[in-house]
Structures are given as structure tokens and as C-alpha cells.
Structure 1
Amino acid sequence: MIDIVNQVNAAHRELGNAPVASGEGRSLLLRRTYDAPIEDVWSACTEAERLGRWLAPVEGELRLGGRYQLKGNAGGEVLRCEPPRLLKVTWEMGEGMPTEVEVRLSDDGPQRTVLELEHASPAGIVDELVRAYGPGGTIGIGGGWDLALLGLDHHLRGADLDAETWEDDPEVREFARHACRAWGAVVQAAWGTSEEDVEAAIAFAVQHFDPR
């Protein structure tokens, strides 16, 4: 059973600027702490067998300069790999815009680890999308990463997950709805987005996670 409120509140969320290979970028950042040593969290984020138990089955060469592909999700290249503290990859969805994901780990005592996940996209593309379609994409992407980090929490606690189907669970969908609302508040604070636009974006993102 998921403690939805505490799981949503466990993450810090923010929007900001971060450089990407092509220049200036816009980013979303999630930060949360896990009750696990840094080596265990690093292993869960970088070993194919473990990634397949909470994120998605993965193929490819999980090494610096190697390419990977998550089943039914993104693929890309490993840009930086500095065990057990830093992993940076390109995050490519088909022919869509090139983006970058960086995972940073730090100790919070001998048995706790702080994880920061930053997803950065070229500024010009993001700004154009926001002008055209509002904040829906950002809220949806953020909510998707919330789900991933929830899955990581379950995995580190020893829960058995089917990474390809567990998001269909009603409790997980309810968590996704709350996470999207949390990102809606961040979007509104950062961009001064109207209540109506935020609510429309949340509704769109929730529909993505709950196709009923």
C-alpha cells in the first residue's frame, strides 16, 4: 500500500536553467532521499538487471560512450559515468527533441542517499512548446519522473515490481495525479501561469497516466 501523501512530499521539485550540448537549456529537477547506502542506489541506477526491476528493461552498453535503449521508452548515449556519484545520458524519444538527464548522488549518513535527477532540454524548443501548448508537457514529464523515483523507492525497500505493468495499479495512478498537481504548483510559481492553464495542463497529464 502506497502512502501517497508522504511519497509525494518526499520529493523536492523545481524548474530552472541548465546547459545542454547545444547551448542554453531549461530543466526540471527532482530531489529525494532514500534509506539506502550510496553504493546500493548507484547499483540500482546503473545495472541492467536492477533497472529492469523498477524502471524498464534495458539493452545496450551501459558504459561511458555506450548506447542504451529502454524498452518502450527512451534511448541514448552515456555521456558521463563517475561511480558512485554521477551519471549523465542523452534522453532521446524517437525523432523527438534531444534532451539530457543527469543523476547525482550524495551521502546523507552511512545508510541514506540523496538523489538529484535533472532533465534538461534546449531552451528554444521548450520556450516554443510552452508558448504554443502551455505547461502541460513540463507537468507530464515531471510526473513521469516522480513515478520512476517512486518505483526506485519500492525497489530499494525490497518490493517486487513488474516495471512494465506496475503503473497500471490504481494507487500508482492516484500517486501520479497528486504528483502532477505538485508540478502544477511549481510551474505556476516559476512562470506565473494562470490557474486555468495549470488546471488544463494537469488534466492533460493525468489523462496520459490514467487513460480511462
Structure 2
Amino acid sequence: MSTQPTGRIETADGVRRLVIEREFRAPIDDVWAAVTESDRLARWIGVWTGDPASGRVQFAMTAESEDATANDMEIRECDPPRRLAVTSQVGDERWQLELDLVERDGVTVLTFTQPDIDPAVADSVGPGWEYYLDRLGAVLTGGDVAAIDFDRDYYPAMAEHYGG
């Protein structure tokens, strides 16, 4: 877990994107399962229901509340265990989210990208993804996700880094 921001906002071809990388001392298949299997996702962020083969699932971010509302998640690309690209739809808001995994010498590097991030919300979205990825790290290492405190360590502490 890092209490300092590790991600960055990049601009390529006029499009802003959030990029955060994490290294895990875990095999790529274990990290892939933790980010794609509903029961494993439940340990750090939320759950999905439905049939992924249809290209859509319903996803609820249950980390904050067990009764979270499920929203539509389109699966744009799924190349196990290397790449997952989805589009989250909450009301009129659509977020593209991408995960890329690479394993080298027993270490899996996860690169999280949110293309076309809205500058008006980057100051809260960046810290939010830092928080969730640290929760994923805790799950993969047997740590305590409850010890990770968004209000104390992530927001507003990281807001300036992502909003600047």
C-alpha cells in the first residue's frame, strides 16, 4: 500500500488518460482471477452477475455498501490472462477501464488505464483507483483490506496530484 500517489495523468493525441501500475508477487493467473472472478472481486471492490459470454454483466461496487446498485458493464475486450477492457455505464456517465497484465520472474505487473478521464473528476477518481488497487494488493498478499482508509490516506490527500 502506498499513501503517496503512484499514478499519473497522461495526454496522448489530445486525450487525457489515468494510468496506475501495481506490481504483485503473484502468478499472472492468480491476479487475473482476482480481477475477473466475481467471488474474488468481492474481496476488494464488488461483484458481477450475468453471463460474460454475452459481452455484458451487471456490476455492483459492494466495497462500500453490501446493497450497492448494480450497473451495466460492457466487456469490450477479454484476452485471458493478459487484457480486460470494459465500459462502465452509470446513468449517462460512461467510463472506459482497461487492465493489462504482464508476468516476469514471478512478479505480475498490472497496468490500469482509464482513457478519456474527465478533468473535472480526476482529483477524486485517481485517488479512488489508487485505493481500490491497494485493496487488491492486500487481498493478493493476505493483508487486511479494512485497514486501508480512503478518507485518511487517499482523498483529499491525493486530490491535488490528480487534479493539477
Q: TM-score, normalised by structure 2?
A: 0.80
Cα distance change on mapping 1:170 and 1:154 into 2, 3 Å = closer
Post-superposition offset of 1:12:
3.0
Cα distance change on mapping 1:101 and 1:171 into 2, 3 Å = closer
Richer in helix (by share)? 1
Cα distance change on mapping 1:93 and 1:154 into 2, 3 Å = same
Contact 1:88–1:100 under 8 Å retained in 2: yes
The correspondence for 1:118, drawn from 113, 126, 136, is 113
2:16 pairs with 1:26: yes
Uncovered stretches (5+) of structure 1, i.e. residues with no partner? 1-5, 189-212
State percent identity of aligned pairs: 26
The equivalent of 2:131 in structure 1 is: 147
Uncovered stretches (5+) of structure 2, i.e. residues with no partner? 62-67
Post-superposition offset of 1:173:
2.7
- DSSP 3-state at the match of 1:42: helix
The correspondence for 1:39, drawn from 10, 19, 29, is 29
TM-align CA RMSD: 2.6
Post-superposition offset of 1:14:
1.3
Aligned equivalents of 1:18, 1:87: Cα separation in 2: 21
- DSSP 3-state at the match of 2:138: helix
Aligned equivalents of 2:54, 2:3: Cα separation in 1: 33
- DSSP 3-state at the match of 2:137: helix
Which one has more relative contact order, counting CA pairs under 8 Å at least 6 apart? 2
Post-superposition offset of 1:28:
0.7
> What is the identity, as a one-letter code, of the residue corresponding to 1:116?
T
2:122 pairs with 1:138: yes
Cα distance change on mapping 1:33 and 1:63 into 2, 3 Å = farther
How many residues are paired up? 157
Aligned equivalents of 2:92, 2:142: Cα separation in 1: 36
* Larger gyration radius, structure 1 or structure 2: 1
Structure 2 matches for 1:176-187, cutoff 5 A?
Answer: 176-177=154-155, 180-187=156-163
